[in-house]
């Protein structure tokens, strides 16, 4: 019953239905539902501890869920029989702390997964990795190790590394939260370009200006539930829920 | 060469310092044989104890509780018993349980010889410590790095081989160095089961020629050189895999 229905592009590419998740006695997601259409940019905001990061991590099955359903391209993510690799090819993730492989150069970081996991041809992957690093404006940084790069540069390598797997959906988990203010912009520019090319993006972010400008849809979460959502114009101009008002009031 | 050897004969005649392995070809052959036995035994044990360490540390991360318990039991057993007792146990207890086979001279003899048993027992002995050493390195690799690998589609083994282990190596190399240095020195225990390594052949030589102080001094110098070489090689390796901005 949880098997794949044939998925077509007019259906949500990510469909989250009534997801519950607990860590021990603490319930961090209390019935979250949201749909993402192909090419959409979704921004999720909310106070810390509201479960936004956990929600992203559930989408690519880094953490299991207790109840509910998450489908990516019609495929149930938390089906125990699911080949995780198939899911990870579809869904790329970028982390707050970049999490690059420190013993590999920028180029090798981008190349590693396609070569070792997907067993793709090394010369082809290398050409693609050069192109991806160029795309994130890191031409010339290919032989540098993560330790030699700034935070913003590392984060762009991390984005290129995810893109090398040719994902259909990208998850960004507070990707600018650990960056210096002056390097935040270079990462946001990269994400904007991706979004403009039609990549489906789910962002957990605190960059309200960026969210307002780029998002097709805003979600505000608090204490494990989606309190309010809507197109950014409405969402920022006249938030309805008092909690959203308060949060936006503090942040803007 | 002959002049070089003759000089030691002269040295003995003049001063009484008796380095038989220079001027006596029989002792020389014994000494060279002992030297290479020690090196070979060390290399075999270095290799297998490292493999045991890598595999053991991987199994320690297993989801199956019994796998973890067995690894833990192995570590406890080999860490809490003297290596000499272990070697005797392997050679005399386990060795006798194995079926006997006909040797090339037609005698019945144990399947595994003393060199093999020494290699096995020392590898397991040093391997137990290596498991713990690699585990400490693995624990130093942040969970988030592993998660990044997982999100890129790596399975558990791929993530261990390509991400966790290379990083763990860099963290635990100093501790690994120490244990491997100890291992090379512990190969002298094979003396106890008559493996003709350096200590054993030295003993044979001094029993024949009564040149105990000379042979003891020789042994010490040789081990200083051997271990020095190992440490030098490990430090070179440590430098070679050092990564800018990581682990320093």
Residue B184 is part of a domain; what is its CATH number? 1.10.3720.10
- A46-74 pLDDT, tens digit per residue, is 988 888 999 999 999 999 999 999 999 98
Q: Which helix (H) or strand (E) holds A221?
A: strand A217-222
Q: For residues B63 and B57, give the distance between their C-alpha atoms in angstroms, rounded to a whole number.
A: 13
- Both tokens of B91, joined, read 């050679």
Predicted confidence (pLDDT) at residue B169 exceeds the cutoff of 70 = yes
pLDDT above 90 covers a percentage of chain A that reads 73
- Nearest-by-CA chain B residue for A160: B152
Residue B245 domain flag: no
Asked if residue B170 is part of any domain, the answer here is yes
Residue B248 lies in a domain: no
User: Is A244 at the interface with chain B, CB within 8 A?
Assistant: no
Closest residue to A117, CB basis, from B158, B167, B244: B158
Token pair, residue A40, equals 């959409």
Task: Sort out which chain A residues have CB atoms less than 8 A from B158's CB and list them.
Answer: 116-117
3-state secondary structure A47-63: CCCCCHHHHHHHHCCCC
B154·A116 Cβ contact <8 A:
yes
Q: The domain containing residue B60 runs over which residues?
A: 2-240
CB contact under 8 A, B155 and A85: yes
The interface predicted TM-score (ipTM) is 0.89
pLDDT at B99: 84
Task: Grade residue B247 by pLDDT with cuts at 50, 70 and 90.
Answer: low
**pLDDT tier, A4 (very low <50, low <70, confident <90, very high otherwise):** low
CB contact under 8 A, A117 and B148: no
Residue B246 included in any domain:
no
Q: Is A88 on the interface with B (CB under 8 A)?
A: yes
pLDDT > 70 fraction of chain B, expressed in percent and rounded: 99
Span A211-224, average pLDDT: 92
Kindly tell me if the per-residue pLDDT of B246 is higher than 90.
no
Structure confidence by residue, pLDDT tens digits, A195-204: 999 999 999 9
Output the average pLDDT for chain B.
92
**Is residue B247 assigned to a domain?**
no
- Out of A93, A97, A147, the one facing B246 most closely (by C-beta) is A147
Q: Is B147 within 8 Å of chain A by CB? A: yes
B157 touching chain A per CB within 8 A: no
Q: Residue A219 above 60 pLDDT?
A: yes
Q: Are strands A200-204 and A169-173 parallel, antiparallel or unpaired?
A: parallel
Mean pLDDT for B157-184 is 93
pLDDT of amino acid A1 = 41
For the entire predicted model, the pTM comes to 0.84
Band of the pLDDT at B56, cuts 50, 70, 90?
very high
Does residue B184 fall inside a structural domain?
A: yes
Q: Which residues of A touch B151 (CB under 8 A)?
A: 60, 62, 88, 91-93, 162
* Per-residue pLDDT band at B86 (split at 50, 70, 90): very high
Find out whether B153 and A89 touch, Cβ atoms under 8 Å: yes
Per-residue confidence at A217, pLDDT binned at 50, 70, 90? Answer: very high
Residue B228 lies inside a defined structural domain of this protein? yes
Interface probe for A, chosen from B137, B140, B145, B153 (most Cβ of A below 10 Å), is B153
- Tell whether B90 is covered by a domain: yes
- How many domains does the structure of chain B reveal? 1
């Amino acid at each position: 019953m949880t098997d794949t229905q044939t998925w077509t592009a007019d259906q949500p590419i990510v469909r989250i239905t009534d997801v519950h998740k607990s860590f021990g006695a603490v319930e961090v997601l209390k019935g979250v539902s949201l749909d993402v259409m192909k090419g959409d940019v979704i921004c999720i905001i909310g106070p810390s501890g509201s479960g936004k990061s956990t929600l992203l991590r559930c989408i690519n099955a880094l953490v299991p869920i207790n109840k509910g359903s998450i489908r990516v391209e019609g495929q149930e993510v938390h089906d125990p029989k699911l080949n995780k690799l198939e899911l990870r090819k579809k869904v790329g993730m970028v982390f707050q702390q970049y999490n690059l492989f420190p013993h590999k150069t920028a180029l090798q970081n981008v190349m590693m997964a396609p070569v070792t996991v997907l067993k793709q041809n090394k010369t082809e992957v290398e050409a693609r990795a050069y192109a991806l690093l160029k795309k994130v404006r890191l031409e010339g940084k290919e032989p540098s190790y993560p330790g030699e790069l700034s935070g913003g540069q590392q984060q762009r390598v991390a984005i290129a590394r995810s893109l090398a797997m040719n994902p259909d959906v990208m998850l960004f988990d507070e990707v600018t939260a650990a960056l210096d203010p002056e390097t935040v912009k270079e990462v946001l520019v990269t994400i904007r370009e991706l979004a403009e090319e039609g990549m489906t993006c789910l962002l957990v972010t605190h960059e309200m200006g960026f969210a307002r400008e780029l998002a097709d849809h805003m979600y505000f979460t608090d204490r494990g539930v989606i309190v309010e959502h809507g197109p950014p114009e409405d969402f920022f101009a006249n938030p309805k829920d008092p909690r959203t008002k308060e949060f936006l009031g503090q942040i803007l | 060469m002959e002049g070089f050897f003759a000089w030691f004969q002269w040295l003995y005649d003049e001063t009484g310092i008796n380095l038989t392995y220079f001027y006596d070809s029989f002792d020389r052959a014994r000494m060279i044989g002992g030297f290479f036995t020690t090196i070979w035994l060390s290399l075999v044990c270095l290799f297998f104890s490292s493999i045991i360490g890598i595999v053991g540390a991987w199994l320690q991360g297993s989801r199956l509780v019994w796998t973890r318990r067995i690894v833990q039991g192995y570590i406890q057993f080999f860490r809490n018993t003297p290596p000499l007792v272990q070697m005797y146990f392997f050679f005399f207890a386990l060795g006798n349980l194995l079926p006997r086979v006909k040797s090339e001279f037609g005698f019945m003899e144990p399947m595994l010889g003393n060199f093999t048993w020494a290699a096995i027992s020392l590898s397991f002995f040093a391997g137990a410590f290596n498991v713990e050493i690699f585990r400490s390195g693995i624990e130093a690799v942040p969970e988030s790095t592993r998660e990044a690998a997982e999100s890129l589609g790596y399975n558990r083994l791929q993530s261990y081989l390509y991400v966790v282990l290379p990083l763990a190596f860099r963290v635990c190399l100093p501790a690994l160095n120490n244990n491997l240095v100890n291992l090379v020195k512990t190969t002298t225990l094979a003396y106890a089961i008559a493996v003709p390594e350096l200590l054993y052949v030295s003993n044979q030589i001094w029993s024949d020629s009564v040149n105990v102080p000379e042979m003891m001094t020789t042994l010490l110098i040789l081990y200083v050189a051997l271990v020095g070489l190992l440490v030098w090689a490990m430090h070179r390796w440590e430098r070679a895999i050092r990564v800018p901005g990581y682990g320093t």
